[in-house]
Amino acid sequence: MGTLLPKFSSLKTLNPNFTSRTSIPFRIKRFSSSSSSIASSIIKEEEKPVQSASLGDITKPDFPILHQEVNNGKKLVYLDNAATSQKPSVVLKALNDYYSKYNANVHRGIHYLSSKATDEYESARSKVAKFVNAPQSKDIVFTRNATEAINLVAYSWGLTNLKLGDEIIITVAEHHSAIVPWQIVAQKTGATLKFVRLTEDEVPDVLQLKEMISKNTKLVVVHHVSNVLGSFLPIGDITAWAHSVGAKMLVDACQSVPHMVVDVQSLDVDFLVASSHKMCGPTGIGFLYGKSELLSVMPPFLGGGEMIADVYLDHSTYAEPPSRFEAGTPAIGEAIGLGAAVDYLSEIGMQKIHDYEIELADYLHESISSISNIRIYGPAPSRTIHRAALCAFNVGTIHPTDIATFLDQQHGVAIRSGHHCAQPLHRHLGVNSSARASLYFYNTKEDVDTFIEALKDTISFFTSFQ
């Protein structure tokens, strides 16, 4: 994936006074108009340095939704990116182009519209495969979302391969979609779920995880980046431990694929899932990466059109992956939109995005930490520990939903409140819910500053009643 920044048409709207460590320098050329220069026909170029702009400043103009006022004239500050990201104009255009120019079903027509739609749909699959460095495009299965992708593995691989006495290792920090399907599978097969606890630093205890792996372990299910703690797990190491006993590795990469370079071959994972809507793509589509040798022997997840080879009255034969797992008419426009999102992210460069977000993450954590009586969950950032650009927190006895509501209605700042689909984790932390601010590459330090001032005002309002 390249790291060159795209040429955005909106550069003229940049704030020239903002500086950042992760920045893109620009220089303005000025020309002398003196008589001596004119006489000699020599134009002397002067290079005057201009203060650089952040990646957030450069990319924010590409997201139309971010440039609006909400709640009676308050400028929107969107800090709920761990729940869903916003969509750039190129993705909106790709969706509109499909529905307005070549809307047709895929894989089942010879006319121009169907052929065009099929080409674009399969092109999107190839783009996703390249984005995560899958060996081949057929290793990518389109699903409704990451939740369905995990369920696909659970019902297709899990019900076929797990039995009484087998063990599945999961951390207490997982999203519900990485816990509930395996609870169902365990009930049906007799397999046992074993849960990894947190360390004192509030990260999953990878040493405990390593010790839990045994000859009975058949599957390890972990997140790459926590949607609450902001912590990263060493996926390569965990995968090696799992493989040492013949276990398979499933990674929930919903909070990593949109934010950093993810290489499935380097990590050597068996299964990896992610969702489009968290990576600038449309809702209604996600994907599963699976090693071809596993997908090829897994039975279908759903039955219907397109997933078959032949249908008889007494039996059916099935198509090869990925078609085997894509029954019925797929989310064609959404897949094409995801392909456009991958193009957009790739043109910026995932390493550039990650570096910028690490800087934002440090700034966010430092800024929130400056507020008294606040409790941030997860590890503190340091030279050796990086956090994702999100912070889940609580403030004294103020309910997180009250915080989120006041921020929205009084300041136009959008954050999340609740358990973030991680109730076991919140119980482990001793709380029922938390507030969460989460950033993406189109956010800026000014967004963080606005949020912090709004949060201080919110706290002041509620503490005035105590």
Residues designated as active site:
421
Rg for the chain (alpha carbons), in Å? 25
Burial class (CB in 10 A: 0-12, 13-18, 19+), 65: exposed
Question: What's the rounded Cα separation, in Å, for the pair 270 and 251?
Answer: 8
| Joined tokens for residue 402 | 């009250």
Q: Is 132 helix (H, G, I), strand (E, B) or coil?
A: coil
Query: Of 300, 293, 292, whose CA–CA distance to 327 is shortest?
Result: 300
Which contacts of 94-101 are long-range, i.e. CB under 8 A and separated by 24 or more positions?
A: 94/336, 94/337, 94/339, 94/340, 95/282, 95/333, 95/334, 95/336, 95/337, 95/340, 98/332, 98/333, 98/336, 98/337, 99/333
Burial class (CB in 10 A: 0-12, 13-18, 19+), 293: exposed
Question: What's the rounded Cα separation, in Å, for the pair 276 and 286?
Answer: 5
Which contacts of 454-458 are long-range, i.e. CB under 8 A and separated by 24 or more positions?
A: 454/77, 454/407, 454/410, 454/411, 454/413, 455/368, 455/371, 455/395, 455/403, 455/407, 455/413, 456/371, 457/410, 457/411, 458/398, 458/403, 458/406, 458/407, 458/410, 458/411
Burial class (CB in 10 A: 0-12, 13-18, 19+), 336: buried
Provide the strand spans (E) within 335-411.
374-376, 390-395
